[in-house]
Amino acid sequence: MNMELSRRQFLRVGGAGIAGTTLGALGFGEAEVAHAASIRPYKLAMTKEVRTSCPYCAVCCGMIAFSAKNAQTNKMEVTHIEGDSDHPVNRGTLCPKGAGAIDYVRAKTRVKEPMYRKAGSDKFEPVSWDFAMDRIAKLMKEDRDANFIEKNKDGVTVNRWPTMSFLSGSSCTNETGWITWKVARGLGMLQIENQARI
């Protein structure tokens, strides 16, 4: 977590303090306190604010994402996104893509659970993570065992798995990129590509 206290956080902490503690100290009577308690708490006081980066183009505009707990799912969900005015490149601005980024995280086409399409089938069916990962691992191992080449025709150790390919996403973090490299090459893949060319 970024521990710097921004101006916005400072105001928020201050605001919550006033609502929660100082009313009585200021000498309000019981009725007023009851009235104050009935007022919906300041929304932003319940909101977490983090610095993030636009997922789209390579300008990497700074964004501030606000999130709050959804009572139904008990999960932190993003409630608002705005440009980060501290960011030296975008200075708080966002383009029509970045400005709509909240609709991306709640897109209708978000995949909710692992889906599986059998050979020749005309539909996806939901499956468990365990089923999906077991099946993929098994398919990969079967193919690796069938097609892995340890030595080429000149007897040079080449350790390659020529029949498996990996398209590596360029919207993933650097840390994801490294795990991707490690896993793909660790298994012996050569067919690896990202979006540098396209």
Where does this chain touch another protein (CB under 8 A) — which range of 13-21, 27-35, 36-44, 113-121?
Answer: 113-121
Residue (28 or 53) nearer to another protein, CB: 53
* Minimum distance from residue 11 beta carbon to another protein (Å): 18
Distance CA 12, CA 3 (A): 15
Residue (30 or 113) nearer to another protein, CB: 113
Distance CA 176, CA 132 (A): 20
Q: How many CA atoms lie within 13 A of 168 on its CB side?
A: 21
Q: Does 7 bind another protein (CB under 8 A)?
A: no
Residue (7 or 112) nearer to another protein, CB: 112
Q: Does 150 bind another protein (CB under 8 A)?
A: yes
Q: Does 12 bind another protein (CB under 8 A)?
A: no
**Pairing status of strand 48-53 against strand 62-70:** antiparallel
* Helix axis angle, 30-38 to 7-25, nearest 10°: 150
Which residue type does 159 have? N
Beta bridge partners, 80, equal: 66
Q: Does 136 bind another protein (CB under 8 A)?
A: yes
Among 2, 34, 39, 43, binds another protein (CB under 8 A): 2
Token representation of residue 165: 């390919």
Q: Does 159 bind another protein (CB under 8 A)?
A: yes
> CA gyration radius for the chain?
26
Q: Does 162 bind another protein (CB under 8 A)?
A: yes
Residue (16 or 47) nearer to another protein, CB: 47
